Structure 1
Amino acid sequence: MMGTVLSPGTAAIILFGIFFFCLFWRVPVAFALALACLPILLIEPRLSAMTLAQETFNAYNSFILLAVPFFLLTANLMNVGGITDRLVWLSRSMVGHFPGGLAQINVVLSFFFAGISGSSTADAASQSKIFIEAQRKEGYDDGFSVAITAVSSVLAVIIPPSILMIVWGGILTVSIGALFLAGIVPGLLIGLAQMATVHTYAKLRGYPTYPKATWLELGRSLAVSVPALMTPFIIIGGKIFGWFTATESACIAVLYAGMLSLLVYREMDIKGLYGALLDTGKFAAVALFCVGTASAFGWLLAYYEIPKALLSGVSAWNMGPTATGFFISFVFLVVGCFLDAIPSIIIVGTILDPLAKSVAMDPVHFAIVGIVSLAFGLVTPPYGLCLLISCSIAGMRMIDALKDTCIMLLPMLGVLVLVIVWPDVALFLPKLISPEFLR
């Protein structure tokens, strides 16, 4: 940028150098991003330390981001209000008789939970508490139990309503309704791939299976779960058909989950409500603080035109849409190992967006490739937040669960390749239901 003291290369070295130095010393990501910005703001005469505060708070001036705490609150209300218990019963009736019944229930419950909460960390925390000890008692290996719990929890960022989709749509101006639709088929394929992996493990290791539920038992479990299962239809349907925005749908989800917990299932008391609100405040504060400091970091990248400088060499490779998709996926896979998904979208997503546009890659397809790729980072070290949560609850080291985790990620990697090579895997439903959302 003309008139700046630092060149784009020097600014990039300072920003990323300080950021990774802070990460090495285990400084929390949000603080590391802020600390990386400060030296440049002090060096550059036209800027000041106040710019950090201004750009951080500018990021919060977003109606869309209000959806984040509301979807987190929905998930917490589910847990304390007995909704999760009903979904466990339904999952057992549906797939408990499959090989590795309890682990199959784990995957199916993650699929249902993903359609309501949008948060993988909330899923990992709640599912770990429910399943890991139960699987131990039934003879499952600890490494397998932790791995399937952590890996299945990433469905929450792929299956709508996903918090990552909301952030992506708000930052890169992509239709959230289209993103919601585009995540359904890839999420379903990943869920089926995980169930097939559990089947293989169960056959090889002789994991137990439950008796097959009768049609009457299946009907009863479905009857008590239907009110809970209506939540994703209300959220996604309302957004797609234009009844309300993503943020309004999150508010309605909270009201609906609260109504089910208080009036229908009647399992939530004042103490439970207080706990749900407290947990939501903690999770939302961490997530939104990352959004703010990442936005300030991204603003400095744009100020020095660093994305343009970084991509100038890549553009010379003359890659087509498919090769560009693999390149984008590779970048997100690597970045996701070190950085939380939300700041990755704000920083890396905005850098790669011009590259995707240069090869006429559909914005929705670009988003799904990025989000699915970032989902891997939730269970891969050194970041691997969902894996860390599951290991912490299980009381075991991450390294002891890595082998099984890597094996379970292979089918998921196959789905990612399919999405890149055949864009209609993601774009089929948006084209079919609401083609006006595309482009």
Structure 2
Amino acid sequence: MGPLSVTWAVLLGLGMPIAFTLGVAALLFMWWNDMPLVVIPQRMVGGIDSFPLLAVPFFILAGNLMNTSGITDRIFHFSHSLIGHMRGGLAQVNVLASVIFSGMSGSAVADAGGLGAMEIKAMREAGYRPAFAGAVTVASCIVGPLIPPSIPMVIYGVLADASIGRLFLGGVVPGLMTAGSLMVMITLMARRQNFPTEPKATWSETGRASQKAFLPLMTPFIIIGGIMLGIFSPTEAAIVASLYALVLGVFVYRELSAKDLWTVILQTGRTTASICFIIATATVFAWVITTLQVPQQAAAYLVGLTRDPLFLLLIINLVVFIAGFFLEGLAIMILVVPVMIPTMAQVGIDPVHFGVVLVFNLMIGLMTPPMGIGLFVVSGVAGIKLEDLIKEVFPFLIPLLIVLLLLIFIPSLVTALPDFVLGADR
């Protein structure tokens, strides 16, 4: 394992993209140890040959369609009509809109890049500091992969052979807790820094905004309702979400032209290809470490340290949190899950609980430098200096880390809803 990890670390330090570092490190290790290289293409194809993974491109497509067809604009104005009058109201609207949008796209990047650009523009025009507006956007986009649907949950479910439906439901309460904690933080900051206020929307204004947003607001109910009633699987739900967004954009709102649709398809294809390539090369890397019995060794080592599930979760999440400073979340997940799942089974940690906590921890990595993807996305779309954005982001880590600790120490916050809706998984 030593030469493999050293090779991977060296390639990563040289600036090679994460997908290539995983694949090249595995290739060099296998070649040096006379392992059959034919395994590489077999494992790469096998790694992405999964029906549940079909949900990934369709949820990406749904998010891109919503960002292009005016749906995000309707969500923002609906949220603004509800709470825009509060002290720091536009910052609160930023969080609420992310909660609503998260029930449609399942992607933090889609939230930050699409809805976030609109939110930052509105906050700037209202007198908020651009860096603060960007920081709120980065923090609130973390809600996206928690409240279903969720692209990271789908990937975790495939890697851990866990129920994606239970993972979706398990993310609801943590997602709402995250949004609530951010809104409390914004309230405290608003009082201290005297953030601007706006006139309260009239009943007629709220009614018009609700009417315009009604059809998009039905998306989460269609997705989750369909899964709970057994009408379609989580993978099929992704297709339904894409078709629904397409119908709204083309036939209802008529804001999605043929040119826009082609652009959305190309953008979706590029994002999907990037994710699938990482999964494919990481599958080879994971096969090598499994062949070397690293999961068994890690399980024995960790169980030797403690058999206390909570303490073990704390150790793992500390390692994942630190890794999030330097690695992209998907790569961490693919590396960690195959190694840790046997350990989780030994100490009796629910795979759904572990999965939701892991995804939440990885999403915090979106806002931690130097590799926080959310920071780069918001900095790019809003033209905010990265160093200014980083300074404003740090206070929002406090409520997020508090929620993370609560989720670790109180597993029922994750497992209670799936157990109630789908029955206890024993």
What TM-score results when the alignment is normalised by the length of structure 1? 0.94
Of 350, 354, 360, the residue aligned with 2:348 is 360
**Paired position in structure 2 for 1:23:** 12
Contact 1:121/1:153 (8 A) holds in 2: yes
In the alignment, residue 262 of structure 2 is paired with which amino acid?
A: Y
Matched residues in 1 for 2:269 and 2:169: separation? 29
Q: Which moved more, 1:181-190 or 1:25-34?
A: 25-34
Q: Is the partner of 1:116 in helix, strand or coil?
A: coil
Deviations 1:9-35 (A, max 9, x none): xxx222221222222222111111111
Report how far residue 313 of structure 1 moved. 2.2
In the alignment, residue 137 of structure 1 is paired with which amino acid?
A: E
In the alignment, residue 28 of structure 2 is paired with which amino acid?
A: P
Matched residues in 1 for 2:184 and 2:150: separation? 24
Matched residues in 1 for 2:119 and 2:242: separation? 25
**Paired position in structure 1 for 2:401:** 413
Of 3, 13, 35, the residue aligned with 2:2 is 13
Of 73, 78, 96, the residue aligned with 2:61 is 73
Report how far residue 162 of structure 1 moved. 0.5
Matched residues in 2 for 1:124 and 1:14: separation? 38
Contact 1:143/1:400 (8 A) holds in 2: yes
In the alignment, residue 281 of structure 2 is paired with which amino acid?
A: T
Contact 1:325/1:369 (8 A) holds in 2: no
**Paired position in structure 1 for 2:418:** 430
Report how far residue 183 of structure 1 moved. 0.3
Of 30, 34, 37, the residue aligned with 1:41 is 30
Report how far residue 392 of structure 1 moved. 2.1
In the alignment, residue 267 of structure 2 is paired with which amino acid?
A: D
Q: Is the partner of 1:316 in helix, strand or coil?
A: helix
**Paired position in structure 2 for 1:125:** 113
Of 21, 24, 30, the residue aligned with 1:32 is 21
Kindly indicate whether residue 312 of structure 2 is the aligned counterpart of residue 317 of structure 1: no
Kindly indicate whether residue 336 of structure 2 is the aligned counterpart of residue 345 of structure 1: no
Matched residues in 2 for 1:309 and 1:361: separation? 18
Report how far residue 380 of structure 1 moved. 0.9
Report how far residue 382 of structure 1 moved. 2.1
Q: How does 1:53-132 map to 2 (within 5 A)?
A: 53-132=41-120
**Paired position in structure 2 for 1:185:** 173
Of 282, 299, 307, the residue aligned with 2:287 is 299
Q: Is the partner of 1:378 in helix, strand or coil?
A: helix
Matched residues in 1 for 2:190 and 2:115: separation? 19
Contact 1:41/1:51 (8 A) holds in 2: no
In the alignment, residue 309 of structure 1 is paired with which amino acid?
A: Q
Matched residues in 1 for 2:179 and 2:211: separation? 23
**Paired position in structure 2 for 1:6:** none
Report how far residue 367 of structure 1 moved. 0.9
Matched residues in 2 for 1:336 and 1:256: separation? 34
Report how far residue 51 of structure 1 moved. 2.3
Structure 1 unmatched ranges of 5 or more = 1-11
Q: Which runs of 4+ in 1 moved over 4 A?
A: none
Deviations 1:160-200 (A, max 9, x none): 10101101111111111111111000100100111111222
Contact 1:106/1:152 (8 A) holds in 2: yes
Contact 1:124/1:389 (8 A) holds in 2: yes
Of 220, 223, 241, the residue aligned with 1:235 is 223
Q: Is the partner of 1:52 in helix, strand or coil?
A: helix
Kindly indicate whether residue 389 of structure 2 is the aligned counterpart of residue 401 of structure 1: yes
In the alignment, residue 287 of structure 1 is paired with which amino acid?
A: I
Deviations 1:32-73 (A, max 9, x none): 11111111121222322x322221111111111111110011
Deviations 1:133-172 (A, max 9, x none): 3322322223212211111111111111010110111111
Contact 1:294/1:343 (8 A) holds in 2: yes
Kindly indicate whether residue 258 of structure 2 is the aligned counterpart of residue 284 of structure 1: no
In the alignment, residue 364 of structure 1 is paired with which amino acid?
A: V
Matched residues in 1 for 2:327 and 2:36: separation? 26
> How many matched pairs?
426
RMSD, aligned CA: 1.5
Deviations 1:298-337 (A, max 9, x none): 1111011112223322211223121122122112212222
**Paired position in structure 2 for 1:9:** none
Contact 2:303/2:347 (8 A) holds in 1: no
Contact 1:379/1:386 (8 A) holds in 2: yes
Matched residues in 1 for 2:67 and 2:362: separation? 26
Structure 2 unmatched ranges of 5 or more = none
Matched residues in 1 for 2:149 and 2:230: separation? 15
Matched residues in 2 for 1:237 and 1:291: separation? 29
In the alignment, residue 421 of structure 2 is paired with which amino acid?
A: I
Contact 2:73/2:115 (8 A) holds in 1: no
Matched residues in 2 for 1:197 and 1:284: separation? 35
Matched residues in 2 for 1:352 and 1:72: separation? 28
**Paired position in structure 2 for 1:198:** 186
Q: How does 1:217-296 map to 2 (within 5 A)?
A: 217-296=205-284
Matched residues in 2 for 1:137 and 1:22: separation? 44
